[in-house]
């Protein structure tokens, strides 16, 4: 995940055009404050399922790595597509207590991404619903940030 991916850009290009026509007007405030040579964690609200991730992808010219719930990785074909788009699984207690140990590897990879001065995206609410309101924030972002800062 440290290198720029041609495959990622090749797949992203037609989707970028679709995104532009679907959302004719997009306002980005203070884009100049997004660092290009330092690690960054994007932490958008998660009100709109996949569109939230696409908003991050199409409004920054980076190739951010996302953390997403592990159950969407069960199908090997979908998992392969998700990995192409730099999405890693995060395991929750509802995925089984024994699966939580797998998060150690994911958080270590996340720290490496930040060490390489790349971008990550984590949804702090860790879920989306049809109700438009801020929900309780999860601990994934501070966990990754504190581990990266310590190292």
Whether 2 has a pLDDT exceeding 70, the answer reads no
pLDDT tens by residue, 68-83: 888 889 999 999 888 8
Confidence of residue 126 (pLDDT cuts 50, 70, 90): low
pLDDT-above-70 percentage for the chain: 83
Q: Which long-range contacts (CB under 8 A, 24 or more apart) does 66-73 make?
A: 66/120, 66/121, 66/122, 67/106, 67/110, 67/120, 67/121, 67/122, 67/140, 69/95, 69/126, 70/95, 70/99, 70/102, 71/95
Q: What does the block give as tokens for 36?
A: 């290009």
Structure confidence by residue, pLDDT tens digits, 21-37: 888 888 888 888 888 88
Question: What are the tens digits of pLDDT across the range 89-123?
Answer: 988 777 778 888 888 888 888 888 888 888 888 88
pLDDT at residue number 76: 93
Q: Kindly tell me the sign of the dihedral angle through the C-alpha atoms of 11, 55, 70, 1.
A: positive
| pTM of the shown model | 0.75
C-alpha–C-alpha distance, residues 24 and 127, integer Å: 27
pLDDT for the residue numbered 32:
87
What pLDDT is attached to residue 96?
76
């Amino acid at each position: 995940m440290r290198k720029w991916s041609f495959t990622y850009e090749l797949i992203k290009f037609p989707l970028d055009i679709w995104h532009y026509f679907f959302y004719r007007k997009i306002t980005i405030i203070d884009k100049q404050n997004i660092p290009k040579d330092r690690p960054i964690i994007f932490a958008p609200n998660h009100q709109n399922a996949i569109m939230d991730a696409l908003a991050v992808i199409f409004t920054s010219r980076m190739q951010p790595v996302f953390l997403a719930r592990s159950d969407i990785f069960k199908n090997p074909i979908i998992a392969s597509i998700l990995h192409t788009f730099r999405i890693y699984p995060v395991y929750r207690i509802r995925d089984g207590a024994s699966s939580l140990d797998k998060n150690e590897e994911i958080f270590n990879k996340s720290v490496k991404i930040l060490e390489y001065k790349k971008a990550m995206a984590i949804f702090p609410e860790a879920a989306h619903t049809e109700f438009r309101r801020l929900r309780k924030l999860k601990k994934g972002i501070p966990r990754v940030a504190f581990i990266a800062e310590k190292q």
